[in-house]
A = this chain, B = another copy of it.
Amino acid sequence: MRNPATLKKISDHLSVSISTVSRALKDHQDVSPETKRRVKELAEMLDYEPNSFAINLRKKHSDLFAVIVPEISSYFYHSFIEAVEEEARLKGFSIMILQSRNNPELESNNLRLCRYNHVAGVFIAVNNSSENHPAFKKMEDWDIPMVFFDKVPAEGNFNKVCMADEQAGALSAEKIVQKGHQHFIAVMGSPSMSITIGRENGIRTYLSKYAPGVTFDCLYVDHGEKVETLLDRYSNSELQGKLLFSMSDEILCGIIPFLNQRGLKLPADISLLTISNGFLPRLFSPQVCYIETNGNKLGKMAFNRMSEILDGKKVVCERLLDCEYFSGGSM
């Protein structure tokens, strides 16, 4: 390992003190122009790079944010991460990615890593399964700001940035009712997830208020069960003319092959509405109608919230990202 240049090395070469070198490199007013010039020139030549460990050891925190997600390659998180990296870079921060793979132990361990590395803040989408409240509390004790996004704890006073799940559910119901359906089939994710609960609540609330006669079957994709298996309970004639509502891209990816395999055509045989970031729905023919969930927008929103906290606006709050309807040809 080549020895990287240090302030000491530069100071030795130039026969000035380390303090002077340090000051010269940061353009401190106390240093004479001539000294500055000599120091900077040599620093350049020696390929000097400050040492983050030494700097952070004094500052007691790093220029690193952590993003903790169940997994990176989901339909949504990578675009969230992309947006956060972008914003972070513009503000001089970098990001560390940690996956918790729906394993509470890993999640705790990831939070421990955040403490170990004294990150400036944590963006976290929590696991499906249990809620790691003690681990979350510990971050508070360490004064490491946390912004929960997408999958957030149902209980507890935390900073949250989410899709407006209830609104998305209500908007879905509204569109379904408008199309004249008296009954539909909703395919939802795990019933323990906050997003499932929110979206389903949105549907129920809307229906009970504006269309009490409309009913729906509610199927939950849980415990690794496949969408296809769940839907197999219906015969083609039972599905004829019906509407399928899909809670997410993940579920959409189960529904599409199912429809293909059954030979059901959109929208002649069956209608389809999904919640999605919009990428997949636009690839199909006809394009699938969707309510937009935008990972990039949510990432920017989360970053803004984090910036506010770092700037001192610490009062805990919950922000919602409004959703919009895209009209395809699937219903």
- Which residues of A are at the interface with B, using a C-beta cutoff of 8 A? 1-2, 4, 47, 49-54, 56-57, 60, 62, 64, 71-73, 78-79, 81-82, 85-86, 89, 94-99, 106, 112-113, 115-118, 138, 141-143, 253, 256-257, 260, 280, 282-285
Which residue on chain B has the smallest CB distance to residue A285? B260
Contact indicator A73/B79 (Cβ below 8 Å): yes
Q: Find chain B residues with CB under 8 A from A4 CB.
A: 115, 142
Tell whether, in the assembled complex, residue B99 and residue A94 are in contact, meaning their CB atoms are under 8 Å apart: no
Contacts of A253 in B (CB 8 A): 283
Inter-chain contact A57/B57, CB cutoff 8 Å = yes
Most buried by B among A56, A72, A99, A253: A72
**Separation of A50 and B115 alpha carbons in the complex (Å):** 9
CB < 8 Å neighbour of A143 from B1, B49, B97, B260: B1
A62 contact set on B, CB distance < 8 A: 53
How many copies of this chain are found per oligomer?
A: 2
A60 in contact with B1 given A118-B52, A283-B253 (CB within 8 Å): yes
Are B52 and A54 closer than 8 Å at their CB atoms?
no
CB distance from A263 to the nearest CB of B (A): 9
CB–CB A50/B116 < 8 A? yes
Q: How far is the CB of A217 from chain B (nearest CB, A)?
A: 24
Tell whether, in the assembled complex, residue A118 and residue B51 are in contact, meaning their CB atoms are under 8 Å apart.
yes
* Cα-based distance from A285 to B283 in the complex (angstroms): 12
Given the complex, which residues of B lie within 8 Å of A52, measured CB to CB? 116-118
**Smallest beta-carbon distance A233→chain B, Å:** 22
* Cβ distance A249 to chain B, nearest Cβ, rounded Å: 11
Shortest distance from the beta carbon of A9 to any chain B beta carbon, whole Å: 14
Cα-based distance from A196 to B122 in the complex (angstroms): 39
Q: How far is the CB of A7 from chain B (nearest CB, A)?
A: 14
Q: Tell me, rounded to whole Å, the shortest Cβ–Cβ distance linking A228 to chain B.
A: 13
Whether B72 pairs with A99 at a CB distance below 8 angstroms is no
Name the residue of chain B whose CB is nearest to the CB of A3. B60
Partner of A95, one of B1, B82, B97, B260: B97
A94 proximity list for chain B (CB < 8 A): 96-98, 113, 117
Is A81 within 8 A of B57, CB to CB? no
Contact of B89 with A78 in the complex, beta carbons under 8 Å: no
